[in-house]
Amino acid sequence: MCDNKPQGPLPYGPSITLEEARRVMDAAEAEARANGWPMVIAIVDTAGLLVMFHRMDNAQTGSVDIGPAKARTAALYKRPSKAFEDAIANGGIGLRMLSMTHVMPLEGGLPIERNGAIIGGIGVSGMSSAQDAQVARAGLAAL
Amino acid sequence: MCDNKPQGPLPYGPSITLEEARRVMDAAEAEARANGWPMVIAIVDTAGLLVMFHRMDNAQTGSVDIGPAKARTAALYKRPSKAFEDAIANGGIGLRMLSMTHVMPLEGGLPIERNGAIIGGIGVSGMSSAQDAQVARAGLAAL
Amino acid sequence: MCDNKPQGPLPYGPSITLEEARRVMDAAEAEARANGWPMVIAIVDTAGLLVMFHRMDNAQTGSVDIGPAKARTAALYKRPSKAFEDAIANGGIGLRMLSMTHVMPLEGGLPIERNGAIIGGIGVSGMSSAQDAQVARAGLAAL
Amino acid sequence: MCDNKPQGPLPYGPSITLEEARRVMDAAEAEARANGWPMVIAIVDTAGLLVMFHRMDNAQTGSVDIGPAKARTAALYKRPSKAFEDAIANGGIGLRMLSMTHVMPLEGGLPIERNGAIIGGIGVSGMSSAQDAQVARAGLAAL
């Protein structure tokens, strides 16, 4: 009865708007602030290009690049950046992921969806990968 | 009595905070929106690294790079990006500016000051250079 | 009576589809072939990323990069690449264009429009700039 | 009688023509379409430079780089890109492949041959590596 699952990856929709990005950003930032976590939060379009970027005070400088890179990974490959982290953690053939372009294989990057289409990605960096992902999920919950 | 004025360019102060950047961004974005101009607005710290970035819907894609580059120019060289534009416009020795690293010689990038110290830069891109600069100045007026 | 001209640049629409690109490519390629011109023809989306690329036999190798770069320029800056060529030819302040990122200031790159929105760009390289542009225009006429 | 087999890898022949590339592309694209797979398909010459590139609608944006990279790997190293994937999967000394220039160690890139000589490469990206390779093989079968 339920075998009409979508085949293949989701399509892309029109890229996230600034107003949608603002809602995602506000929610993600609130989650980070509630936990006292200094984060970089980045939102990109379906081409992986920045739409919105906020760096909280005292976030580690390295996150300025890593945050957008996680968002780009999710948007360009239509999957959470954790998928690549897991492949690498499993070793063997998964290690080939280390050579892929525009892949940042760290948890904390998620595709953003609207009506069954991918409209961009969010990437968070600054604390542990699991905490980064918690903030990203809080952002997505606002859409 | 008062002749001990500082010589040379302003010193750097502690980098702009996210809350300060938010005030600058809100004012710049309001100016752009009031004019119906689709803009990219970027704010960087004293190292030229992003603190905040907003891309308005339908801003030309090229501005995704140009906006931050103008902000970086202002922060890294402690002067408006227009100073480089002017040097190039004057020709001759000024053309050497075309080879400088991290110089985007287009009007629309301004240093951000607090108490006589430079704390970052703002860069705006999307319309004519003069309109870009108008939005950047509106942002600075909020601090 | 006719003063309600569009203000500012055209918006972006959903990016060109493969079938639309095929029509543009076929027409451009036919024009090049009719003239015996070995060309590189590239079509990109609104982010400047390749959708379609054909290199005719014996096209100069340098055009492999220049063709897509012209297309990207048109899509990213919502104007013909010739606009940048002209600015530079005029000298003075126009020379600042030499420093812009993702700008290939050679005639032969044109935005692609659908229903009053920009949906990508076409770039042609291989012969003189004027001949390159003639092939690009022939491609656009097919849409 | 038959022991005078060629030693070492195949030689290079004159690079694939546009018309040959078109036959390969059409067959590969038909295979992808028959399966409902949104793919990027790239064909390169013996120098690894693009001859033809088609991106199907809704192909993941990351494949815009990965498709040509697989084709380049096959053409530059005269072997299927899977050879590098296998080396990495085996671990140990094989991991050095992660550092090689212009190697994309993912299945889906194949050398293109004509009369016992390598004339270029095809690379496919968009679905699983095995599906990518299936489309690449369908392309080769057309020559």
If we measure between CA atoms, which residue out of C10, C47, A138, A55 comes closest to residue B44? A55
**What is the full DSSP assignment across D57-73?**
TT--TTHHHHHHHHHHH
Q: Which residues does chain D have within 8 Å of residue A93's beta carbon, measured at their own beta carbons?
A: 85, 88-89
- Render pLDDT for A35-82 as a digit per residue (tens, 0 to 9): 999 999 999 999 999 999 999 999 999 999 999 999 999 999 999 999
Assign domain A18-140 one CATH number from 3.40.50.10490, 3.30.450.150, 3.20.20.140, 3.40.190.10.
3.30.450.150
- Render pLDDT for D91-133 as a digit per residue (tens, 0 to 9): 999 999 999 999 999 999 999 999 999 999 999 999 999 999 9
pLDDT beyond 70 at A129: yes
pLDDT of residue B3: 54
Cβ pair C51:D51 closer than 8 A: no
In terms of Cβ atoms closer than 10 Å to its own Cβ (0-12, 13-18, 19+), residue A38 is middle
Find the closest chain A residue to B64 by CA distance.
Answer: A50
Q: Which chains would you list as touching D if contact means 3+ CB atom pairs under 8 Å?
A: A, C
Tens digits of pLDDT across chain B (143 residues): 445 555 678 999 999 999 999 999 999 999 999 999 999 999 999 999 999 999 999 999 999 999 999 999 999 999 999 999 999 999 999 999 999 999 999 999 999 999 999 999 999 999 999 999 999 999 999 99
Which residues 52-91 of chain A have a CB within 8 Å of chain C? Answer: none
pLDDT of residue C2: 39
> Among partner residues B17, B49, B55, which is closest to A50 by beta-carbon distance?
B55
C49 to chain A, any CB pair closer than 8 A? The answer is yes
Percent of chain D with pLDDT over 70: 95
pLDDT beyond 80 at D6: no
Q: What's the predicted TM-score (pTM) here?
A: 0.95
pLDDT class of A24 with cuts at 50, 70, 90: very high
Map out the domains of chain A as residue ranges. Answer: 18-140
Q: How far is D107 from chain A (nearest CA, A)?
A: 10
The ipTM, to two decimals, is 0.94
Is residue C96 a contact partner of residue C123, using CB atoms and an 8 Å limit? no
C12 to chain B, any CB pair closer than 8 A? The answer is yes
> Among partner residues C18, C56, C64, which is closest to D18 by beta-carbon distance?
C56
Is residue C98 a contact partner of residue C69, using CB atoms and an 8 Å limit? no
Is residue B38 a contact partner of residue B58, using CB atoms and an 8 Å limit? yes
Measured CA to CA, the distance from residue D15 to residue B18 in angstroms comes to 55
Instruction: Pick out chain C residues at pLDDT < 50.
Output: 1-6
- Render pLDDT for A89-113 as a digit per residue (tens, 0 to 9): 999 999 999 999 999 999 999 999 9
Measured CA to CA, the distance from residue C3 to residue C54 in angstroms comes to 42
Is residue C95 a contact partner of residue C88, using CB atoms and an 8 Å limit? yes
